[in-house]
Amino acid sequence: MCVKCETFLDGLFEHGLLIDTGVDGLYGRGGTFERVITGLENLISRYGDEDKAEVVRFPPGMNRALFEKSGYLKSFPQLAGTVHSFDGYERAHNALLAKLEGGEDWTADQRVTDIVLAPAACYPLYPAVAKRGPLPKPGLLFDLQSYCFRREPSKDPARMQMFRMREYVRIGTPEQVTAFRAVWLERGRDFVHQLAIPFEVDVANDPFFGRAGHIMASSQRDQGLKFELLVPIESVEKPTACLSFNYHQDHFGLTWGIGTQSGGVAHTACVGFGLERLTLALFKHHGFNVASWPSSVRDALWG
């Protein structure tokens, strides 16, 4: 693949696919990398378009008050990222510059803003849907994409701190939502099959924090609420989740007060595509030179 490169990450840097910023998990993307992302997005749309999802795009920041209400801090405080900003006058500014000059910590004077970084593309959606009132009878279906932040620095290029997630989100009755997830479990397999990369689908759990988190994680597994489509990227023994199929039951419906036509609490599910992870999987299995990828894969992405 690349004789000079010790690791897959080195190879990605060497070939200009990712650009080193000096922070693990925070990378620039080269043009070829982005061309693969665009191809993947188009291929995903080819599977999802027939359902006529409502397209919504949120920025990678979300309303802090809504984030607080979402329950994310209860389950994943270790992953959250908040936005802070300078909020002082001249004197405080001079103090900040002096600290900076002296190599001291200048960040204590930063104040938290009303924006936090989105941890998943679907988080800002639920409160926006709740504002619309009761769901229409067929429920709702959304097509989302956003940069997301998770504080999990790593040398594994597939574990980024800032990455893009494409999602379809279904909101409706339990029957509507579980049917959606079953359809996408099949479509997801078919989609990755077209990319000609090895994969397996397995039951999974989210990285819930702390001791109570262990119980939540095993209950999530026991109930089969999360499945992942895994592809070997950094390790064969521990393949990486590239697609997730999540059934939240009535968690977001209750949190946000989303009701169905018949007066029940809405259930929700989402399928999330890790765009960078899928791109990395393609480079891992087909090589750094896109021109030599199998023609079926090139056709699937750009045909």
122 binds Zn ion (CB under 5 A): yes
Distance between CA atoms of 236 and 186, rounded to whole angstroms?
Answer: 23
239 makes contact, choosing from Zn ion, ligand AMP, none, with CB < 5 to 8 Å by partner type, with: none
Angle formed at CA 213 by CA 207 and CA 219, multiple of 5 degrees: 90
* Kind plus residue range of the DSSP H or E element containing 141: strand 140-149
Distance between CA atoms of 74 and 220, rounded to whole angstroms?
Answer: 16
Given candidates 18, 53, 125, 165, which one binds ligand AMP under the rule CB under 6 A? 165
122 makes contact, choosing from Zn ion, ligand AMP, none, with CB < 5 to 8 Å by partner type, with: Zn ion
CB of 153 within 8 A of CB of 161?
Answer: yes
Could you tell me which stretch among 98-106, 137-145, 152-160, 189-197 binds ligand AMP (CB under 6 A)?
152-160
Shortest distance, position 67 Cβ to Zn ion, whole Å: 14
44 binds ligand AMP (CB under 6 A): no
With respect to ligand AMP, which residue has the nearer C-beta, 132 or 155?
155
CB of 26 within 8 A of CB of 160?
Answer: yes
What residues contact 89, with CB distance under 8 A and at least 6 apart? none
DSSP H helices, 1-71, are 8-14, 31-48, 64-70
163 binds ligand AMP (CB under 6 A): yes
Shortest distance, position 24 Cβ to ligand AMP, whole Å: 11
3-state secondary structure of 103: coil
Shortest distance, position 96 Cβ to ligand AMP, whole Å: 32
Distance between CA atoms of 281 and 164, rounded to whole angstroms?
Answer: 15
177 binds Zn ion (CB under 5 A): no
> Which residue is nearest to ligand AMP, using beta carbons?
274
Given candidates 242, 258, 269, 300, which one binds ligand AMP under the rule CB under 6 A? 242
Q: Which residues bind Zn ion (CB under 5 A)?
A: 120, 122, 270
Q: Which residues bind ligand AMP (CB under 6 A)?
A: 120, 150, 152, 159-160, 163, 165, 241-244, 246, 272, 274, 276-277
